[in-house]
Structure 1
Amino acid sequence: MTFSEQLITFMFIFCLPLLNASEASQCSSSSCGYRNVDVRFPFWLFPKQSSTCGHTGFDLLCTDRHETALKLPDTEPFLVRDIYYDKQRFRLNDPNNCMARRLLSFDASGSPFSPLHFLNHTILIYPNEDIKSSSHYKPIRCLGNSTSSFFAILFDFASSMPSSCQMVKTLLLPVSSPIAVDLNDQDLWLKWDSPSGRDCENNRSLRGFENNTTIEVKWFSSFKSGIHNFVLLMMKLICLSLMTLLFGITTCVVYVTFSFERLPTQIRRSLARHATLKPPRGRARSPIFGPYKKVMNMREVRSLRAYSDVNTASTSNASILGYSCVVLARFVETVHKSK
């Protein structure tokens, strides 16, 4: 096996596995746009990230307005406003600005999330003409019609409402505080218990699956993983550069070789005839021999000098062969002109 063949074999054996190598198994954070919610493990952003970058049920998506959204089972998407990874909770909002209506039918079953608190509320319908402007109860703005309004009050205060109020139902509503607040001004706060990563967040480490075939969560040093990915990228660039250079050299050698083999047959025959020519004896000078000899002397000197320079500058057989072809072609052309 020649040196060039050994070099090509080494390049493929060394570089191909490196080019197929993956970065550290944890995924970097992503977002739907500038100054948007930072999405990282256990959440993952579809379709910007692979499902292996997050936990099951923690998939988020981007809206047409480049906002981060969460789609829970059997519900319309919620907008994600904040994610507190150290506290393992996040804040949701309704795209239509009617969170109170969403809370009346909210159901987190089938997802890994749960509300922070529940309070028992009673839903009432109250005629609009009986509503007092001084009342501390606020109607749900996105519900009701021109004749009546809807109220959501704590169950303990339902008995104090006027008799004109009609009770619709009583239910537990998810709230962000154990203290009663106006549902019109409330966002939905959810939390998750598993996977847990509070200590990891406090240590400023990254979390992710140990590999793509297990669900075991592992902590990664963000500094070490950054160095690993940088070194891997540099080695990939070096390998690609070397393979490109090797391909270019091989192409040049093949081009020069085929160019020489395709020299016109007439030039080859002329070179063969020139090799059999012998100078005439005596003082008689042929009309061709005089200029022929001068041409030979000048061409030989130039060819030897050129050959010496090329041989000193490069030992490449392809370069010497190509240069010799040019010199011989010019020489044959001069011979034909002299005739």
Structure 2
Amino acid sequence: MGILEVLFPFFIFPVIYASNDCRFSFCGSNSIIIRFPFQLEDEQNPYCGYPGFNLICTNNSRAVLKLPYSGVFYVRNINYLTQKIQVYDPDDCLPKRLLSLNVSGSPFIHTFTRNYTFLSCPFLKAGSQYIPIDCLSNSTHFVLAVPSMNLPNPLPTSCYVITSLFVPVAGPEQQYGGSFKGELSEDLLLTWDTPDCRYCESQEQLCGFDLNDNNQLSCFSYQTGASQQGIQIFRIITLCIAEPAAIFAIVMACCVCYKDRLAIIRNNAIARSAPATISPAPQIVTTTGLDESTIESYEKVVLGESKRVPGPNDGCCWICLSEYNSKDTVRCIPECQHCFHADCIDEWLRMNPTCPVCRNSPSPLQLTSLDP
């Protein structure tokens, strides 16, 4: 009974704390962080997510966004600072999804659109204004997309218009004659206005419902979120390890109770007859960051004009929260491939031996060569 009295608080505490705990979740091969206003559908909590921001994590670790009138999309990335979510078609045919895209009934909107005309032709037309849609074409006809302002008049021989519609694009209208070919092959970028958590994110704080007024949003310190995540990990360890260990300990205690009593008596007798000894003072181990040679072993990359950062990263540095620009120098941690401004991560690693995003301890292995 003494063992049960000692271990009982460890089992009841996680259940009590869970009622007020909004934890982070991770899903996907690039470790997408899912937090307010998003939450996983199987972890429904009215205080931990905003209506309409439910995600699904599939068995193959894919984060899925389901739009009421347009079906499911896989999530590539979520930028909580700029309030943008980057999604793509599971069948890798985004133009087909764009033909019937309808974001109504969801909190998401597309910021920029461009009018495109889709043509069906018996042959593949050449020219920079024609964008071939391979996933909609077959051996007898080709589907092409043309910015409506570049649509030739008259139409090419034997070609006819399938439809004309406004298609979501990543940026504002380009000049006449510009290159449009990448717009229909890139991911779909959506944004949201409500809830507006950009102020909290810009202050390096978390956003969520006010504990005293569930209709208002408040900012919470990042340390609070990290503490909750640490307690969540402690709860998992407690339930998965401590409970079976406690049961095993009780059984073993009953079996060896008599033997332990004899051992105590024998040890007391030895202690009375043995001379007193002084135990050495325990050594205090301090934890510091990484040495300069290890930090310098992580490869640095100079960003090109595309400002594309390699690995599972978004468009801004998670330490200083500044957007990446061309010719910025970034350094990537080899274990998790999270990248940051070189100056920011160097200063961090001198004081902390872990990645500031996933908290994994990096190893001094070199990264493979990355193309900016």
| Aligned pair partner of 1:83 in 70, 78, 88 | 78
Match of 1:222 in 2: 222
Match of 1:69 in 2: 64
Give aligned-pair identity as a percent: 33
* 2:131 is aligned with 1:121: no
C-alpha displacement at 1:184, in angstroms? 3.9
Q: CA RMSD in A?
A: 4.1
C-alpha displacement at 1:216, in angstroms? 2.4
- Say which SS state the counterpart of residue 208 (structure 1) adopts: strand
Match of 2:168 in 1: 174
| Aligned pair partner of 2:41 in 41, 46, 49 | 46
Match of 2:26 in 1: 31
- Say which SS state the counterpart of residue 101 (structure 1) adopts: helix
- Say which SS state the counterpart of residue 71 (structure 2) adopts: coil
Alpha-carbon distance in 1 for matches of 2:231, 2:138? 65
- Say which SS state the counterpart of residue 178 (structure 1) adopts: coil
Q: Give the partner amino acid of 1:90.
A: I
Counterparts in 2 of 1:33 and 1:15: CA distance versus 1, 3 Å: closer
- Say which SS state the counterpart of residue 21 (structure 1) adopts: helix
Match of 2:208 in 1: 208
* 2:17 is aligned with 1:22: yes
Alpha-carbon distance in 2 for matches of 1:110, 1:90? 17
Alpha-carbon distance in 2 for matches of 1:218, 1:135? 50
Instruction: Give the TM-score of the pair, scaled to structure 1.
Output: 0.58
Q: Give the partner amino acid of 2:167.
A: L
Alpha-carbon distance in 2 for matches of 1:19, 1:202? 32
Match of 1:145 in 2: 138
Instruction: Give the TM-score of the pair, scaled to structure 2.
Output: 0.54
C-alpha displacement at 1:157, in angstroms? 1.6
Tell me the number of residue pairs that the alignment of Structure 1 and Structure 2 aligns. Answer: 241
Q: Do 2:96 and 2:136's aligned partners in 1 also have CA atoms closer than 8 Å?
A: yes
Q: Do 2:129 and 2:147's aligned partners in 1 also have CA atoms closer than 8 Å?
A: no
Alpha-carbon distance in 1 for matches of 2:19, 2:208? 10
Q: Please give the per-residue CA displacement for 1:55-87, whole angstroms capped at 9, x wherever unaligned.
A: 111011112321111010032210110111100
**Larger RCO, structures 1/2 (Cα 8 Å, 6+ apart):** 1
Q: Please give the per-residue CA displacement for 1:227-286, whole angstroms capped at 9, x wherever unaligned.
A: 57878979xx9xx99xx9xxx9xxx9xxxxxxxxxxxxxxxxxxxxxxxxxxxxxxxxxx
Alpha-carbon distance in 1 for matches of 2:11, 2:61? 38
Counterparts in 2 of 1:51 and 1:74: CA distance versus 1, 3 Å: farther
Moved more, 172-181 or 185-194: 172-181
Moved more, 197-206 or 224-233: 224-233
C-alpha displacement at 1:23, in angstroms? 5.2
Match of 1:155 in 2: 148
Counterparts in 2 of 1:167 and 1:19: CA distance versus 1, 3 Å: closer
Q: Give the partner amino acid of 1:105.
A: S
Match of 1:96 in 2: 91
C-alpha displacement at 1:145, in angstroms? 2.6
Q: Which has the higher strand share?
A: 2
C-alpha displacement at 1:192, in angstroms? 0.2
Counterparts in 2 of 1:16 and 1:78: CA distance versus 1, 3 Å: closer
Q: Which runs of 5+ in 1 are unaligned?
A: 1-10, 253-339
C-alpha displacement at 1:225, in angstroms? 5.2
Summarize the alignment of residues 270-309 of structure 1 with structure 2, pairs less than 5 Å apart: none
C-alpha displacement at 1:203, in angstroms? 1.7
Alpha-carbon distance in 1 for matches of 2:80, 2:141? 42
C-alpha displacement at 1:120, in angstroms? 1.3
Counterparts in 2 of 1:202 and 1:25: CA distance versus 1, 3 Å: farther
Summarize the alignment of residues 232-247 of structure 1 with structure 2, pairs less than 5 Å apart: none
Alpha-carbon distance in 2 for matches of 1:107, 1:82? 21
Q: Do 1:83 and 1:89's aligned partners in 2 also have CA atoms closer than 8 Å?
A: yes
Counterparts in 2 of 1:227 and 1:112: CA distance versus 1, 3 Å: closer
C-alpha displacement at 1:218, in angstroms? 2.0
C-alpha displacement at 1:194, in angstroms? 0.6
C-alpha displacement at 1:147, in angstroms? 2.0
